[in-house]
Amino acid sequence: MQQPQIRQTLPSKTPLVIAIDGPSGSGKGTIAGYLAAQFNLAHIDSGLIYRQVGLYVMDHHLDPDDLSAKDEEVIKDFITTIDPKTLDADARLRLEKTANVASKLAALDWIRKAVNQWLYAQVDNPPEGVVGYVIDGRDITTAVFPNACAKFYITADEHVRLERRKKETLEVSSHITRNMNERDRRDATRKIDPLTVAVDAFIIDTTHLSIDEACHNASQCVTERCF
C-alpha cells in the first residue's frame, strides 16, 4: 500500500471527528488508519474497547450472559481505567472467543453507555498535539458521533470479508465463518444501537476495490466534507 502523505494539521482546538462504521472484515480499520495518517489525526478502533471488556469478563470468570449488579459496577469501573495508549497491547484481544464475548456484551445498554463515555472523554481531553480523531466501530456514525464532519459506512460481500478475516488469523477457518456470521447477525439486530447506515454516510463497498482505491476514495470524501 502507498504511504499516505500528511497533508494538513488542523488549526482548531475543538477536535475534529471522522466516524466510520461497518461489519467485520469490511476494511474499515485499514481505511481509518490511512485517514488518520493522512490527515494527522489519532485513530481509535472502538471495537477494541468492547474486546477489552470481553477479555476482562473472561479473565475474571464472569458470565457474559448473566452479569450481576456487582459485576456491572466493576465492569463500569474497569472501562474508565482503559488506557488509549495500550488499547491493542494484548494479543488475546484478536481471538475469536474475545470477539464473541465482546459482541454479546455490546448488546447491553449500560456497557454501551460506559464505552461511549470513555470515547467522549478521549475526544474532550485530547493529548498534546492531537487535533482530531478517526473513530471506527458499529454505531459511531449513528449514535456516538452523529455530528462527525465526515461519516462512512464501509462494506463488502460476505465471502470477501470472510476471506480477509481468515487471512488475518491462525485460528481454524470454519470457526471464523460461524463466529463472524453470528456476530454480524447479533450486531445488526440488537435492540440498542445496531449496525445501520447513517443517512448522510458515504458508502464505500470495498468488494472489488484495492486498498489504495478504497483509501483514496475515502480521503477525497474527507477533503470534500471537512477541509
- Chain contacts with ligand C5P (rule: CB under 6 A): 24, 46-47, 50-51, 99, 102-103, 106, 137-140, 183, 187
If the CB atoms of residues 40 and 72 are measured against ligand C5P, the closer one turns out to be: 72
Contacts of residue 39, Cβ cutoff 8 Å, sequence gap at least 6: 6, 7, 8, 10, 18, 132, 134, 222, 226
* Residue 108 burial (CB count, 10 A): 17
If the CB atoms of residues 48 and 226 are measured against ligand C5P, the closer one turns out to be: 48
If the CB atoms of residues 40 and 186 are measured against ligand C5P, the closer one turns out to be: 186
> How far does CA 164 lie from the centroid of its chain?
17
Shortest spacing between CB 129 and ligand C5P, in angstroms: 25
If the CB atoms of residues 65 and 128 are measured against ligand C5P, the closer one turns out to be: 65
Cα–Cα distance measured from residue 66 to residue 107, given in angstroms and rounded to the nearest whole number: 13
Shortest spacing between CB 171 and ligand C5P, in angstroms: 14
Cα–Cα distance measured from residue 26 to residue 30, given in angstroms and rounded to the nearest whole number: 9
Nearest one of 218, 75, 195 to 143, comparing CA atoms? 195
Shortest spacing between CB 121 and ligand C5P, in angstroms: 15
Cα–Cα distance measured from residue 11 to residue 94, given in angstroms and rounded to the nearest whole number: 36
